[in-house]
Structure 1
Amino acid sequence: MQRLVLKFLYVVAALKYPAIRRDLRYFVRDNYFCRLNQLRFAGRDYVSRSPYKVIDYQGEFDQELRYVLPFAYWHHLNGTLRQTISCSNTKPFYFFSENHLERYDKRIWEAGYDYYEVPNMTHSPTFDFTKWARVPLRDQYKNDVFAFDKPLLVIANKYNIEWDKPPVNFLDIPALDRIVTMFKATHQIVYNRPLATQIVGDNSETMDLKEHQWLREHHPEVVQMNDLYEQHRDNVQSFNHLQLMVYANCNRFISMHGGTAALASYFGGINLILSHPGGGLEHHFNEYATIFPALSGATILHARNRDEVFQHLKTF
């Protein structure tokens, strides 16, 4: 029966979005099926409304932030959340869950396939926000510990294998040098590129950009998240907890395609995202104008290359 329904929904996707490439219609089909699957829970969600929902997820961090976490928070608000299960060091994200289990020590990106338990679970031109609620991470973690004399600017960089290819979406040292020089007089810059030992890995191998030591030597005024973690590790639950506390005090971000961009979109303000075409599918579905700003109401600026990064920086 499921196969027949999926075939029917593919036809629906093809009729509704004839301009979308045939191979991309499968994503639309899957999101349709995710939403249809929620009809099974109508009685529990809207009538009995007792705690029953167990949300168990081991897939990509990006999908967890965009789809799973807001779904879990909706169930919390609805009174129907029973338990959340995810990867190591995710408790700070699920602060609202009274029964959160960190079961997995590694993310499996394929876990997102055929995972129809959440109304939105993959790329789509539209999203269903019926069972999706903004998670108030900023309100939860705003603090006086990471307060600085100047407004914060967080540069959330990455340098890892993407789609089984060499790194694509990252700021190299010359770009970092130019950005820091532009803003260090007006902003306290916090540089964040987690080490492989600080986050739960998936199939994307983290590589060495050698920028941490370079920043210490050439721009010592830049505060590095790795250094903050060493200084405060006795007072934070994990590196993720630290990120949330620092991000909650910031409203200006420069971030990279993927989970890095999704996390920075949770805190309002402006998030400038570097995301080259040809890799992820966010561009095809215009998601930087839909699901990303929905996470907090943030203004999302999409740069398709480093030149566009600097164009946005000059304008905004």
Structure 2
Amino acid sequence: MQNTTLRRINVPHNHRQTDPRAETAVPVATLANRLSTLKNRLTGKPNVCPLGDYPSTIVDSQGCEFGYEMFYHVPYAYHLAKRGCLQRTVSCLGTQCFYYFSPDHREVYDRRKLVKYLDSIAQKPHQSPAANRWEPPDFAGHYRNTVDFHFPKPPLLIFNKYNTEWDHPPVNFLSPQLLDRVVETMSERFSIVYLRPTTHIVHDHMPVGDLNEKTRLREQGVILAEELYEHFSHLSFNEFQLGLLARSRHRVAVQGGTSYLNALFPGQLRVLHRFGGEQMYGNYNDFPRMGVTDFSVHNSEFELLEQLEGFKQLDRNAA
């Protein structure tokens, strides 16, 4: 049977969290917890190990979609770590940096998939995270000094994607026409860094397409993330992304996993959302709790472009 002796580890205090419940005593394994652990083992869920009111002290992402892992598993695991209750984390290749606080992180999944029930947190996707066991880590503080990119201007990060969604052609993506307008209006004030990874990351079950936009962006002076990464390949690509995010206060993303990752960092974030459950189920309402300080969602590229003008004004005032 699972050993319920849990060791406490030192985790830096997250300045965004002031909930006194995080300082209460470590819960005790009950007989019901032990019986549930045994049942889970016998039914093929060996990584589900409840403790007190916690669904599991082993946090297994099950290879779920990236956004859900950032939204649910990472903050839940961090809360457990601060309480001294985290035994192990299990996730996809290249995820060690997201669980820097874990005493035992294992990378076992080489592809992401749709998961309809998240066993470690006993929730379905799109449900609001349970507030009493949800604490986003301070990624910005932890990774701010990972690397200095020496950008000549404040960085503006653009996260795009172009892949099949819900078995349909791409829906949520920034068009080449919009990207041209962003470069035209923003390049004077910002060093623009463009991220639409096609390698270096673990993909999910949806095929990735090509917008054929990168050659033109390079010619316009935009920094392509995968080419910048060649100078920092001693880091994993996810560490590289975290380092970029930690040094940026201005970001654009699209519906999907990277919008959740961006929400874990302070600064201004604008998201293009044409379709998806986040608006229907209210997930975007939780984004300010994740750490982003100025956040808005836009259903058209026209609305998004209008809002980006505020980035220029904020940066001018800050200077």
- With the shorter chain as reference, the TM-score category is 0.7 to 0.9
**TM-score when scaled to structure 1?**
0.78
State the partner residue of 1:28: none
Q: Separation in 2 of the partners of 1:251 and 1:148? A: 13
SS for the counterpart of 1:272 is strand
State the partner residue of 1:243: 241
Aligned residues: 262
Residue type of the partner of 1:228?
L
SS for the counterpart of 1:189 is strand
State the partner residue of 2:301: 306
Q: Separation in 2 of the partners of 1:132 and 1:67? A: 8
Offset of residue 43 of structure 1: 6.5
Q: Separation in 1 of the partners of 2:151 and 2:310? A: 25
State, as a whole percentage, how many aligned pairs show the same letter: 34
Q: Which has the higher helix share?
A: 1
Offset of residue 56 of structure 1: 1.3
State the partner residue of 1:148: 151
Q: Separation in 2 of the partners of 1:147 and 1:265? A: 24
Gaps of 5+ in 2: 1-47, 312-319
- Which range moves more in the overlay, 112-121 or 177-186? 112-121
SS for the counterpart of 1:85 is strand
CA offsets 1:3-50 (integer angstroms, 9 cap, x no match): xxxxxxxxxxxxxxxxxxxxxxxxxxxxxxxxxxx9x632779xxxxx
State the partner residue of 1:255: 253
Correspondence 1:270 to 2:275: no
Correspondence 1:129 to 2:124: no
State the partner residue of 2:200: 198
State the partner residue of 1:25: none
81, 85, 108: which one aligns with 2:86: 81
Q: Separation in 1 of the partners of 2:97 and 2:129? A: 26
Residue type of the partner of 1:53?
T
SS for the counterpart of 2:185 is helix
Q: Separation in 1 of the partners of 2:173 and 2:201? A: 18
- Which range moves more in the overlay, 83-92 or 259-268? 259-268
Offset of residue 119 of structure 1: 5.3
Runs of 4+ in 1 over 4 A off after TM superposition: none
State the partner residue of 1:187: 190
CA offsets 1:170-207 (integer angstroms, 9 cap, x no match): 11111101001111111111111101x21101112111
CA offsets 1:121-140 (integer angstroms, 9 cap, x no match): 4213x442110002111111
State the partner residue of 1:32: none
Over 3 Å counting, the alpha-carbon distance change for 1:158 and 1:44 in structure 2 is closer
State the partner residue of 2:57: 53
SS for the counterpart of 1:266 is coil
| 1:119 and 1:131 in contact (8 A); partners too | no
Q: Separation in 2 of the partners of 1:302 and 1:95? A: 30
**TM-score when scaled to structure 2?**
0.77
Offset of residue 266 of structure 1: 1.3
Q: Separation in 2 of the partners of 1:142 and 1:161? A: 33
Residue type of the partner of 2:215?
Q
Q: Separation in 1 of the partners of 2:136 and 2:122? A: 15
| 1:119 and 1:128 in contact (8 A); partners too | no
197, 200, 216: which one aligns with 1:214: 216
Over 3 Å counting, the alpha-carbon distance change for 1:96 and 1:240 in structure 2 is same
Offset of residue 299 of structure 1: 1.8
SS for the counterpart of 2:216 is helix
**RMSD (Å), alpha carbons:** 2.0
Q: Separation in 2 of the partners of 1:274 and 1:201? A: 21
Correspondence 1:169 to 2:172: yes
